Amino acid sequence: PAASDVVGSNKDPVSCIPWPIPPPNPALEIKYNKIFIANEWMDAVDGAVIDDINPATENVITQVANGGKADVDRAVAAASKAFHPSSKWRRMDASDRGVLINKLADLIDANKCYLAVLESLDCGKPYTHSFFMDTGVSKLLRYYAGWTDKMHGKTVPVDGDYLSYTLVQPAGVCGLILPWNVPLISLCMKIGPALCCGNTVVIKPNEQTPLTALYVASLAKEAGFPEGVFNVVPGGAEAGAAIAAHASVNKVSFTGSIAVGRKIEEASAKTNLKRLTLELSGNCPNIVFADTDLDYAVEHAHQATFMNQGQMCTAASRTFVHEDIYEEFVARSVARAKRRIVADPFQLHSEQGPQISEKQLNSILNYVKSGVEEGAKLECGGSRHGTTGYFMQPTVFSAVEDSMKIAKEEIFGPVQCILKFKTIDEVVQRANNTQYGLAAGIFTKDVSLALEMAKALESGTVWVNCYNAFAVQSPFGGFKMSGKGKEMGEEGLREFSDIKTITLKLPQLQN
């Protein structure tokens, strides 16, 4: 469901939960914290470990193996062996690949409470959000499980005495580099199409949020995936760089910042010209017209900005509001932000947990300082919340101008910037005047206007009278510097497969 369908109205957030959820157990045992290669758990080659920090308490959850280049080499070797044409995985019927992916989806469902707790411990997301959002990952896997035996080639009516046809084949060893903000969802967005197409994978979860990927690795083994098909190397920049530069990795799918995306492009260009899917940064516009239902638009704009502590590439941090309703929209948005419940992620009433790290919290605070210095009006928030954990007050700015740093750059935090507009042409130009092009929102009762605006906005996804309404069947990916390639939907399969043409000379029939 969309963020505002999970938690988000003027009611008590708990009353908005659509069905009962099991209580969390934040003191659960951490079962897996090592590197996973060829269905075996192992330490890093150099024995390095890294502290995994709970951002709500600032305490160490566990120590996780910190993989480096040597560990990536081991994982790629195992994945390459599993991709050999004579391997069990490559000779498996396509429909049987679908059976394995469905088994993995079943195991994720059976363990979703445990996974939701891991997600909340690792990245600070409220447990209620983790539980409901991560419920969708099994649906995503089942969608791709159904595709395994439906990727057809075709015959091509070429001239002459030839038979020409195409085969859809896997890309090879795929490096999947995950972000820290939505680690489990991103993992399944990548492994779904990759495994569906018959590839093998080397997964590098972010060093700050490795626990869900490692647990899913244990479930992949339990489901029966052959050795070397599913490998996980937790680690930092060294491991990511090793994947991007590895000559035996044919494909990289990365979610993260533009800066790191550039490095992956450079490494690919200098080595084997890997195929890339890059889902990068955003600074998304959300445009509210005067004819909209004001309470509805305020709530959805609030959720569009503050979902997941504002740590979303799709966050609608630039909220453009028509001048006729601007003052009232600001007043209601401020009131809603002040009602937002910032609390321990394991309290079921919590709407907002901590930021991922002290570094991220300080970055957000610096953006707030910049906004004030450049003349934006700080309506509420703007400071750290509490003294323990990396919590940030929900923050709203009005009187924001396009030239301000808070309007031009991706804040990646719970900060809503509300800008005023007058005309349609003006707001289209302003919304598009950015290097980003990931997503956008439109709120209006005028269907014709919505359709014309959706065509004009330079964004890979446009939501109308909703926001963050993802569906596994619909492709997602950005324009401009927000990335290249698509995830989810049928289009996601094309990122992990190759088309091979085969042409045979036919004998001429004799009379």
| Catalytic residue set | 279, 313
Provide the 8-state DSSP code for 479.
Answer: S
Which segments of 271-307 does DSSP mark as H helices, in order? 294-306
Instruction: Copy the structure tokens of residue 466.
Output: 């909703």
d(CA 469, CA 84): 39
Measured between its terminal Cα atoms, the distance across the chain in Å is 66
d(CA 265, CA 425): 35
d(CA 432, CA 454): 12
Instruction: Copy the structure tokens of residue 297.
Output: 């638009």
User: 173 with 202: CB under 8 angstroms?
Assistant: yes
In Å, what is the CA distance from 216 to each residue of 25, 105, 220, 224, 269?
19, 10, 6, 13, 32
In Å, what is the CA distance from 363 to each residue of 17, 261, 328, 359, 427?
32, 20, 30, 6, 28
Q: Which residues have C-beta within 8 Å of that of residue 86, sequence separation ≥ 6?
A: none
User: 61 with 54: CB under 8 angstroms?
Assistant: yes
Instruction: Copy the structure tokens of residue 254.
Output: 């990365």
* Tally of CB atoms within 10 A around 73: 15
Nearest to 212 by CA among 346, 53, 30: 30
In one letter, which amino acid is 229? Answer: V
**498: helix, strand or coil:** strand
**Bridge partner list, 52:** 62
Q: Which residues have C-beta within 8 Å of that of residue 304, sequence separation ≥ 6?
A: 3, 4, 284, 286, 314, 315, 316, 319, 441, 467, 468
What is the three-state SS of 192-206? HHHHHCCCEEEEECC
User: 313 with 281: CB under 8 angstroms?
Assistant: yes
* Tally of CB atoms within 10 A around 452: 14
| 357 exposure class (CB count in 10 Å sphere: 0-12, 13-18, 19+) | middle
Instruction: Copy the structure tokens of residue 220.
Output: 């992949």
